[in-house]
Structure 1
């Protein structure tokens, strides 16, 4: 059976930005449910800038789903459906050969490897009641440019904002609009719009407006609070159908245009700068903690014959406590949802209690926990560590 404990944990940051080449927006994510889109773009975030195979565990995958109550068995079913849909998600590349008159047309899949690891209650691999443990993926080298080799031509959006949206059509429209965040105008031919949005053939224009466009516009213009910041995905979003002559599917509609308030360069830069400052602060904090731990170890090595046992005990206590620094806990919050908490600092108060400072990986909220002694801390850590 696959040993999940031996895999390195990689923390997910829901406030990070997913980036991918605009060619990805041309895909029709036919059959991908809302939840499967969340997992797919969560994987895209996790694999960006990485050439090697990456592994995401059950807890990390569940963070992408927006549903903390999903069981391992339910996630297994969704992951299987995602695997089937990805197998149909082919890209075609046309490139010239050395002879300029000859061209190569090749078809590839986005992922070179997509593996699901699961467990069963009776260790029988054929047991239908499977529980998802991990997903292992590796990007196909032919399509590294889609995610990794980004230039000026890319789409970017905050993963948490994307996951918070409801409805697969809303999510697709969100991705299309984000490509034009700096202009506030998207013009697309009607047939292409229907294809990319994966709108059923049976839908009439009135159905599309009532069941897809109006609910999506309402969702995308609704203010929401993410990471203690109130924001609206698209301000003043509206659309106009472009009409022409002739009949056929869509009547005489030949295109559609969406309008919204564009984001200014300053707004984009301010968000990027804020993230950079947070990363810098985090790096400084980590470096200070590493230096402190090194100093303590140096002191212990040099103190071969301490004047009292108390000196040795204090040094050993600090070393033991610092072993928990930057480790992760997974605990339920007051909304009965799971939070991933990273231990940022450990100290003692005048009464000898151990004060543990924790940072929420989703929203960077800082909280504290108090432990009466090292044994108390150890017991809690062993129970909730990930």
Structure 2
């Protein structure tokens, strides 16, 4: 693939001074996937953010002028439980999360927060982030003069927020029911994986009731002719496995909401629906749970590598019907819910009762671990001041590097006292 070779040269030239090789490989993988999905028609959704051209030929050299002209702006938050707070990097001020102009959201839980960018499924903007807080340092990012690397950084490198569920948890970061470019034709090829979808995630039974059915679902196509974004389903109500139904969902222009009970599709999220599709993205309704029930044999080898001949098999649709029906004898210990993921919320590192590292901060479950890092009480948090990220603004034209500078407590001896979180930003304004 020529575009992959060109892309590698572009990334290597512009990132040599600021990325480790591990981080570089991550960005290259994400960028290459975004570029080739756009090429095959996978990037025209209303929620896609692949709206810029990386160009070709010679790489533009990094800017010699520091474009981060707004320095050391602080955002102080005194959060209440289960409340969200938003920041606008263009005005360097806290604003309402109800509008579309926010760039970074701080959503407080009962004790710890989650962070989101105005991108993907978190907002209507074209924001995103380049790094997990584990993958970049404030010291390194502070040396950057241009967040876009003088235009050499592809738009697809900015990682957007996405849904996470059984359909979306995959090594390719997009879906677990297709493989991309198996035959060098930039197309999605189905693997006929079977999913169980319950309308009652409080019960682990795989055979539902009339009021609360359970469905087994396979996705077997992504095209209508040569046009992408048309998702074809084959499914059963597990209480009646011989009644096999098919449905094609036009997910090419935005979210399409599917009611498996009636086989109907709507562009509105009101009423009864279990699954919704927007190109290769899938979300599920709040009461719905899902799990991967099975992957038909022959599509992957023991190491998880694609077996191309199996994906060529014209009889695969017929042969995998038995896998769909076999889900009636499956067992489920727990249903997967629908959540929103962001690169800004990595899985914590460490093991209880030692301190737990959440990237932006450490959590200290015991008095011993707290005192070892200069805190006075258990269950307190302390900022990891050198961990950082780079974010893109909601309009896609301004940027900021950010780190958590401090977490302080009204009473340093009480973890339950009011906390104050201080973030620091350097901003590269819109041109």
Same fold per TM (> 0.5)? no
Between Structure 1 and Structure 2, which shows a larger proportion of helix residues?
1
Structure number with greater Rg is 1
**TM class, shorter-length:** under 0.3
Q: Highest relative contact order (Cα 8 Å, sep 6+), 1 or 2?
A: 2
Between Structure 1 and Structure 2, which shows a larger proportion of strand residues?
2
